[in-house]
Amino acid sequence: MASGDDGEELAAAHQRLRRATLAAVFLLVGLQAGWLLVISQSATREVNDLDTAFHSSHYFEVPDITATGKPMPVSFTCSNVIGQNNSSVGIWWVLYDESGLVVADWNGMSGGDCGGFDLSLEPGDYKILTAEDSGADFEQNLHLKVWKSISFEGHMIGLVVAILLGGDGIWRARKKIKALSEPTAQHKIAQKGVWEQVHSEMEEEDRIQAEVSEISLTGFADQPKDDSQAGKKIPELSEYDQTAEIELAEEQMGELDELAKGTMAGLRGPLERDERIKRVGDIYDLMDD
């Protein structure tokens, strides 16, 4: 059964899992929505405008962004107005590819809408020819949806990014929950007990050594601290009887030596003193290794 601390850690791990899952969902939705916004945009190229000089021919290129030859969605809009003192006449426009083949065309009377197209064009060079000397003023624009041709690839990249960034937090939280939910293995429990005993023994040994050192330096504790005590005799170490303290320390050290070998519940085989451990800090160094 998990202890109170383990229960709190488990609850915290579940909370982290919920937060990580929510963050991953928001990240995925945000990336996909952002990509939809990107591919909906188009690059507009002006062919003719009412306020600029008329061009009967216009050349443009459909780029091959992914170098895979995928077609790109391209739309063309056209409108015109009859010039002052002019009457309605027949007008037309034609779209040619780089081999000279007609891809799209329109003809009709001037004044108002003059057609258009919405096609997926193969990468390459194209030309639009518009009727001259019609007395009409044209407004014609091309709209290239540059990123639409790689719409699927963009969605897949967004999905992978969301998994990499958002999935890491989910994986760590689930791993923590699994570790806290499973019972601790017996050998780990025994190992923990050994480390705790060794740690306790080393602390006791350090304490004894510190006491011995303190006893040895007692003779220097009463040195003059100001000018009023100048000239007073500093006690010699020989004036203090340290026999009892030394015998006690040696007796305690002897008791520690008796713990060199033995057995403990939960362990298999004899328990031996690790000669690499000389002080408490050595335990943590070995644990880091």
275 vs 110: which has the higher pLDDT: 110
Q: For residues 237 and 247, which has the higher predicted lDDT (pLDDT)?
A: 247
Same domain? 69 vs 98: yes
Task: Tell me the residue type at 73.
Answer: P
Domain closes at, from 144, 172, 207: 144
CA dihedral 162, 166, 168, 173 (to 10 degrees): -150
Indicate if 57 and 132 belong to the same structural domain: yes
R_g (Cα) of the chain, nearest Å: 44
The domain spanning residue 66 has which CATH number? 2.60.120.380
Mean pLDDT of 99-104: 94
pLDDT-derived band at 185, boundaries 50, 70, 90: very low
Three-state DSSP class for residue 246: helix
* Cβ atoms within 10 Å of 40's Cβ, excluding its own: 11
* Same domain, yes or no: 18 and 158: yes
Above 60 in pLDDT, residue 252?
A: yes
Q: Are residues 282 and 197 in the same domain?
A: yes
Query: Has residue 141 got a pLDDT over 80?
Result: yes
Whether residues 156 and 110 fall in one domain:
no
Indicate whether 229 belongs to any domain.
Answer: no
Whether 171 and 194 map to the same domain: the answer is no
Residue 228 maps to a domain: no
93, 171: one domain? no
Reported as a pLDDT band with limits 50, 70 and 90, residue 266 is low
Do 284 and 190 share a structural domain?
yes
* Residue 17, domain extent: 4-39+152-181
- The model carries a pTM of 0.51
The percent of residues above 90 in pLDDT, for the chain, comes to 27
Specify if 71 maps to a domain: yes
HEC profile of 117-153: EEEEECCEEEEEEECCCCCEEEEEEEEECHHHHHHHH
User: Residue 128 phi/psi, 5° resolution?
Assistant: -115, 125
Domain count, the chain: 3
Confidence of residue 119 (pLDDT cuts 50, 70, 90): very high
pLDDT of residue 284: 67
Burial status of residue 138 (CB atoms within 10 A of its CB: 0-12, 13-18, 19 or more): buried
Could you tell me if 87 and 49 lie in one domain?
yes
Cα pseudo-dihedral 196, 199, 205, 207, rounded to 10: -100
Tell me whether residue 216 is exposed, middle or buried, using C-beta atoms within 10 angstroms of its C-beta: 0 to 12, 13 to 18, 19 or more.
middle
In tens, the pLDDT along 28-76 reads 999 999 999 998 888 899 999 988 888 899 999 998 887 888 899 999 9
Cα gap 46→26, rounded to integer Å: 39
Residue 231 in any domain: the answer is: no
Tokens representing 193 are: 């007990």
**Is residue 116 domain-shared with residue 49, that is, in the same domain?**
yes
pLDDT of residue 79: 92
Residues 92 and 172 in one domain: no
227 in a structural domain: no
CA 130 to chain centre: 54
Residues 174 and 202 occupy one common structural domain: no
Instruction: Point out the domain boundary residue: 144, 171, 202.
Output: 144
Torsion over CA: 169, 171, 173, 176 (sign):
negative
